[in-house]
Amino acid sequence: MDAKGVILALVLLVLAAGNAVGWFHSVALVREAREAEAHARAAQAARLAAEHEQAALAQRLAEAQADAEKLRGRTAELEEVLRTRSQLPEWETYTDPVLRELVAQHALRIRQAVEARWQAPPSTPRDRACTLAIKLGPGGAVAEVVVAKSSGEALFDASAVTAVKKASPLPLPADPAVAERFRQFRFEFRPE
C-alpha cells in the first residue's frame, strides 16, 4: 500500500470512529429523552391521581356537611316537638279520644273555677302564664299546689296559687278513670 492508500485508510478509520462516537452519543441522548418523557408521564399521572383524590375528598366533605345539616334540622324539629309536647296539658297526650275529651271537659271546669277566684295583681300584664303542680285530696280538696314553671312575675305566680286554693275543693268528675287523672296533675294557668 502506498502512502496515499495508508492516508486514505487512516481518514476512513477516523471518520468511522467519529461516526461511532456520534452514534453512541445519539443513542445516549435518545435514552435520556425517553427517561425524561417517562418521568414527565409519571409526574403527570401522580398529579392527576392527587387531583382525583382531592376531588373525592371534597365530595365526601360536601356530603358529610349536607348530612350534618340534615341532622341539625331533624334535631331542631325533634326539639320543637318535645318543647311543644311539654307545653301541652297532660290530657292532650292521651291517645283514647273519649278519655281525652272527658279529661279536657273536666280540665275546662277546673280552669273556670280557678279563674273565677283569681284576682289580677296590680300592674301585672294579663298575658302571663305559669304552670302549677296540683295534688288533690279526698273530695277534690287541694292538698298541695306549687309553681312548677314560673311566669317570671312572682306576684302573678302567687296570685295563681291563691286562686287554686280559693277554688278548693276543685270539681271532681264522676267517672273514676277520669277522676284518677286529677289526683295529681299540672295545670297551665293563663287567664283570659
Same domain, 53 and 115: no
Q: Is the same domain home to 83 and 99?
A: no
Q: Output the pLDDT for position 84.
A: 40
Backbone angles phi and psi of 144, in degrees to 5: -155, 140
Q: Is 142 helix (H, G, I), strand (E, B) or coil?
A: strand
Is 104 found in the same domain as 48?
no
Nearest to 134 by CA among 101, 170, 103, 105: 170
Looking at residue 113, its pLDDT comes to 92
Instruction: Note the pTM of the prediction, 2 decimals.
Output: 0.50
Predicted local distance difference test score (pLDDT) of residue 149 = 92
The residue with greater pLDDT, 82 or 165, is 165
**Both 32 and 68 in a single domain?**
yes
Number of domains in the chain: 2
pLDDT, tens only, 4-60: 666 666 556 555 655 555 555 555 665 666 776 777 788 888 888 888 888 887 887
**Same domain flag for 28 and 111:** no
3-state SS, residue 187:
strand
* Residue 128, domain CATH: 3.30.1150.10
pLDDT at 88 over 50: no
Rounded-to-integer distance, Cα 51 and Cα 11, Å: 59
Res 86: pLDDT: 43
Domain boundary pick from 67, 87, 107: 87
pLDDT at 91 over 50: no
d(CA 160, CA 152): 13
76 and 55 in a common domain: yes
Helix (H) or strand (E) holding 153: none
The CA distance from 125 to 156, in Å, is 9
pLDDT score, position 70: 73
Among residues 87, 116, 144, the one where a domain terminates is 87
**How many Å apart are CA 160 and CA 191, to the nearest integer?**
9
pLDDT given at position 49: 82
pLDDT at 96 over 80: no
Claim to verify: residue 131 and residue 77 sit in the same structural domain: no
Co-location of 81 and 131 in the same domain: no
Q: Which secondary-structure segment (H or E) carries 90?
A: none
Q: Return the DSSP state at 120.
A: P
Query: Which grid coordinates belong to 148?
Result: 312548677
Does one domain contain both 120 and 169? yes
* Of the candidate ranges 116-120, 166-170, 174-178, 185-189, the one whose mean pLDDT is the lowest: 174-178
- Please indicate, yes or no, whether residues 56 and 133 belong to a single structural domain of this protein: no
75 and 117 both lie in a single domain? no
Q: Where is average pLDDT lowest: 1-5, 45-49, 81-85, 107-111?
A: 81-85
Is residue 34 domain-shared with residue 61, that is, in the same domain?
A: yes
Is the per-residue pLDDT at 82 higher than 50?
no
pLDDT tens digit sequence for 117-174: 998 888 777 688 899 999 988 888 999 999 999 999 899 999 999 999 999 998 888 8
* Residue 138: DSSP 8-state: G
Cβ-proximal residues to 103 (8 Å cutoff; 6+ apart), any chain: 91, 94, 178, 181
Looking from the CA of 102 toward its CB, the CA atoms found within 13 Å total: 16
**Considering 60, 87, 114, which residue would you say is the last residue of a domain?**
87
pLDDT at 164: 94
User: Cβ of 151: how many Cβ atoms within 10 Å?
Assistant: 20
Structural domain of residue 104, as residue ranges?
95-189
CA distance 169 to 181: 16
Q: Is residue 80 over pLDDT 60? A: no
Residue that wins the pLDDT comparison between 187 and 98: 187
